[in-house]
Chains A and B, each alone.
Chain A
Amino acid sequence: DIQMTQSPSTLSASVGDRVIITCRASESISDWLAWYQQKPGKAPKLLIYRASNLESGVPSRFSGSGSGTEFTLTISSLQPDDLATYYCQQYDRYWTFGQGTKVEIK
């Protein structure tokens, strides 16, 4: 099975900060990686697909990069509405999620 490891588990940042979340796959998944945002009591929402493609309607402050085994999600300027938990998901072979990164606002 492909394992996905995210870091950090929690991060605290100020409004306007640049935030970077990392996701590592246990083996190469090419660019078959998605990023999700989940707010309390809600289903996950797709932000990025195929590692670097922004889902329609998602603010341009979100971006993704990487391929193979190393991936990043960047929020260029953190906003209060970005308070959430973020998950990476590989869909190269079946589906596996990272353990999540909780983003808190200082």
Chain B
Amino acid sequence: GEEVAQTPKHLVRGEGQKAKLYCAPIKGHSYVFWYQQVLKNEFKFLISFQNENVFDETGMPKERFSAKCLPNSPCSLEIQATKLEDSAVYFCASSQSIVGARPQHFGDGTRLSIL
């Protein structure tokens, strides 16, 4: 598609439950990025993929967070045993390349609320 599609738009989980978020990148884009936006305006990089391979995972919490990009499937971000502090908007972005000033195109985000 021509837009990054994220589902669901909103996700509510009780503390300790699992949360799974999905992202379909723009067709033809090789790179997928996940960001976490907390406190309304603070963005934190989580992880990036080059096709189905992890490219940079320096922002991923060591425990509880995992992500995948499998062929012919939406990418996913999964949080095990959620905590209150995981409440945030999670954005997915995709780009054709990371060389030069190729921009990242963002989805509308998934708002995760942990109760």
Q: State whether these chains interact.
A: no
Which residues in A have some Cβ–Cβ distance to B below 8 Å? none
Which residues in B have some Cβ–Cβ distance to A below 8 Å? none
